[in-house]
């Protein structure tokens, strides 16, 4: 039997360490490298190429060179490639899951769930590739026939975050390839290995040279800026924080680039007095602690009716206090490490501020001493208005409860944020549920559910949470431009 450590070593050895440019694995200019670390131990797991600006332009050169041929490739051929990639991802599910756990820290069971979720974007957009259509018809005056067609936008640049290393890559790459666009992708410095392994899977699936290019780097701004400024680039997609997103939008404006921005969240989780409390607690656990709380869709503000707040707090506290913390590869672990020390400090500071303003810590509330960057799963109740934990995205395993008395107050509290990615509502009143759909200012809403992401659904937000949608019927249109042609009657 192969030991766990040997299995990890063999997997890591199989992951390419170079940049993927023009269908080849190459070193960074000057041979620069950087270390990728396991957040549960801080140990180096692999050393990989560290791209500079010249490498980024090399990758864009390759994408530009491949664009015309890829756009002209038959939709069925593009579809078949994505379907082969989906099948290969399923075959390599255990490897991809373990790799994500090693570089990001999430429990292995959750990593397996991400492989399933991420793979679905490949399957979904393999099906959408052959359904790109337009329209044809006589104009109202009867003088000509209108042809409306869809064309690929062109070379696209993707910047992905560290928290969902596979799904964020497939959610962007799959629709781009389905539409006929070529890609340069820059994964997060903290979790680049999954993208490298996925690129090798695409290569095995028959990806033509230059259609997808991967650049890993510790100098994100320096590498990204010349790519974004290059007039050959036509599309940029970014998932990450709102402050960084604003800067990227400003850079993209110079070239009038098409942009998709999936930015920060501050999700309200509203529990009305008539809610099924068991459902609400189950939903809370999923919405808050999935991915160790490190998700833009994570519930951030638990807004609970005063009549049931004590019972809700007691039930979630019992569940949270029993959660097992540890390295994600260990059996039964539910909470892995936070991504780095800065995340631990942020969670600690937010809890301390809430307590200073009168909140009570019901369980957890502090960093766990020892190896790795762990923070105890936490419940904080009686959170006062004005607390930083209600304004800032926590991105950690901290459940913060405040209360309301009326529906109007619940709506006001839920909408009292610059963000608008997702909201969660628990109520048995169908009419109230429909009112919340209309009144809550978010791009997505879970009604009596705590997890709502699906490859067949449009993912995205409003206000400072971004522009554009990923997934669903809408996702492929982010990579298509509309062309209108008039043919005279005669």
DSSP string, 61-129: HHHHHHHHHHHHS-HHHHHHHHHHHHHHHHHTHHHHHHHHHHHH---HHHHHHHHHHHHHHHHHHHHHG
Q: Is the pLDDT of residue 131 over 70?
A: yes
Cβ within 8 Å of residue 150, ≥6 positions away: 132, 133, 134, 179, 477, 480, 481, 482, 483
Provide the pLDDT for residue 430.
Answer: 96
> Structure tokens of 41?
């131990």
3-state secondary structure of 11: helix
Which residues belong to the active site?
A: 262, 296
Comparing CA positions, the residue from 174, 167, 93 lying closest to residue 126 is 174
Radius of gyration of the chain (CA): 23
The confidence band for 18, taking pLDDT boundaries of 50, 70 and 90, is very high
Provide the pLDDT for residue 490.
Answer: 77
Average pLDDT, the chain: 97
By the 10 Å C-beta count (0-12 exposed, 13-18 middle, 19+ buried), 41 is classed as middle
In DSSP terms, 267 is beta-bridged to 299
- List the Cα angle 47/106/448 in 5-degree steps: 150
- List the Cα angle 481/486/489 in 5-degree steps: 155
Provide the pLDDT for residue 347.
Answer: 98
- CA gap 34, 214 in Å, rounded: 15
Q: Residue 198's CB: how many other CB atoms inside 10 A? A: 28
Please give the share of the chain, as a percent, with pLDDT higher than 90.
Answer: 99
Q: Residue 374's CB: how many other CB atoms inside 10 A? A: 23
Q: Is the pLDDT of residue 4 over 70?
A: no
Is residue 206 within 8 A of residue 200, CB to CB? The reply is no
Provide the pLDDT for residue 2.
Answer: 46
By the 10 Å C-beta count (0-12 exposed, 13-18 middle, 19+ buried), 184 is classed as buried
Please give the share of the chain, as a percent, with pLDDT higher than 70.
Answer: 99
> Structure tokens of 396?
């950690």
Dmax of the chain from CA atoms?
Answer: 81
Comparing CA positions, the residue from 348, 350, 321, 326 lying closest to residue 337 is 326
Identify the weakest region by mean pLDDT among 4-8, 9-13, 343-347: 4-8
The confidence band for 408, taking pLDDT boundaries of 50, 70 and 90, is very high
The model's pLDDT over 189-227, given as tens digits with 9 standing for 90+, comes to: 999 999 999 999 999 999 999 999 999 999 999 999 999
By the 10 Å C-beta count (0-12 exposed, 13-18 middle, 19+ buried), 57 is classed as middle
CB contact burial 147-165 (16+ within 10 A = b; e otherwise): eeebebbbbbbbbbbbbbb
Comparing CA positions, the residue from 83, 95, 91 lying closest to residue 129 is 83
The model's pLDDT over 318-376, given as tens digits with 9 standing for 90+, comes to: 999 999 999 999 999 999 999 999 999 999 999 999 999 999 999 999 999 999 999 99
- CA gap 221, 66 in Å, rounded: 25
Is residue 452 within 8 A of residue 306, CB to CB? The reply is no
pTM for the predicted model, two decimal places: 0.96
Q: Is the pLDDT of residue 3 over 60?
A: no
The model's pLDDT over 448-481, given as tens digits with 9 standing for 90+, comes to: 999 999 999 999 999 999 999 999 999 999 999 9
The confidence band for 488, taking pLDDT boundaries of 50, 70 and 90, is very high
Q: Is the pLDDT of residue 1 over 50?
A: no
Comparing CA positions, the residue from 202, 204, 158, 214 lying closest to residue 28 is 214
């Amino acid at each position: 039997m192969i030991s766990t450590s040997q299995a990890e070593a063999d997997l890591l050895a199989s992951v390419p360490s170079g940049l993927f440019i023009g269908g080849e694995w190459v070193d960074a200019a000057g041979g620069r490298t950087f270390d990728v670390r396991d957040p549960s131990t801080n140990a180096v797991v692999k050393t990989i190429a560290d791209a500079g600006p010249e490498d980024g332009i090399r990758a864009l050169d390759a994408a530009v060179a491949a664009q015309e041929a890829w756009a002209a490739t038959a939709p069925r051929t593009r579809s078949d490639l994505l379907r082969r990639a989906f099948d290969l991802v399923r075959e390599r599910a255990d490897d991809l899951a373990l790799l994500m756990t090693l570089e990001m820290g999430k429990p292995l069971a959750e990593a397996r769930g991400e492989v399933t979720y991420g793979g679905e974007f490949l399957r979904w957009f393999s099906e959408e590739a052959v359904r790109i259509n337009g329209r044809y018809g006589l104009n109202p005056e009867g003088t000509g026939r209108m042809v409306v067609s869809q064309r690929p936008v062109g070379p696209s640049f993707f910047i992905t975050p560290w928290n969902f290393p596979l799904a964020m890559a497939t959610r962007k790459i799959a629709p781009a390839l389905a539409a006929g666009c070529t890609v340069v992708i820059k994964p997060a410095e903290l979790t680049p290995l999954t993208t490298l392994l996925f690129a090798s899977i695409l290569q095995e699936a028959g990806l033509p040279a230059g259609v997808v290019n991967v650049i890993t780097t510790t100098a994100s701004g320096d590498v990204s800026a010349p790519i974004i400024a290059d007039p050959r680039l036509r599309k940029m997609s970014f998932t990450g924080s709102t402050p960084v997103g604003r800067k990227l939008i400003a850079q993209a404006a110079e070239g009038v680039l098409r942009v998709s921005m999936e930015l920060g969240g501050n999700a309200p989780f509203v529990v009305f007095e008539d809610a099924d409390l068991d459902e609400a607690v189950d939903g809370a656990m999923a919405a808050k602690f999935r991915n160790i709380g490190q998700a833009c869709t994570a519930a951030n503000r638990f807004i609970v009716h005063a009549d049931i707040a004590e019972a809700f707090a007691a039930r979630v506290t019992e569940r949270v206090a029993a959660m097992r913390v540890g390295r994600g590869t260990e059996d039964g672990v539910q909470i892995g490490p936070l991504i780095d020390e800065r995340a631990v400090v942020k969670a600690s500071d937010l809890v301390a501020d809430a307590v200073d303003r009168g909140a009570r810590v019901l369980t957890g509330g502090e960093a766990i001493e020892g190896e790795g960057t762990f923070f105890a799963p936490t419940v904080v109740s009686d959170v006062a208005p004005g607390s930083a934990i209600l304004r800032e995205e926590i991105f950690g395993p901290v459940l913060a409860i405040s209360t309301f008395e009326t529906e109007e107050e619940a709506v006001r509290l839920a909408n009292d944020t610059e963000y608008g990615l997702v909201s969660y509502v628990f109520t048995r009143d169908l009419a109230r549920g429909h009112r919340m759909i209309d009144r809550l200012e978010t791009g997505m809403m879970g009604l009596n559910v705590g997890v709502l992401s699906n490859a067949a659904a449009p993912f995205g937000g409003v206000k400072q949470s971004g522009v554009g949608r990923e997934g669903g019927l809408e996702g492929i249109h982010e990579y298509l431009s509309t062309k209108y042609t008039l043919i005279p009657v005669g």
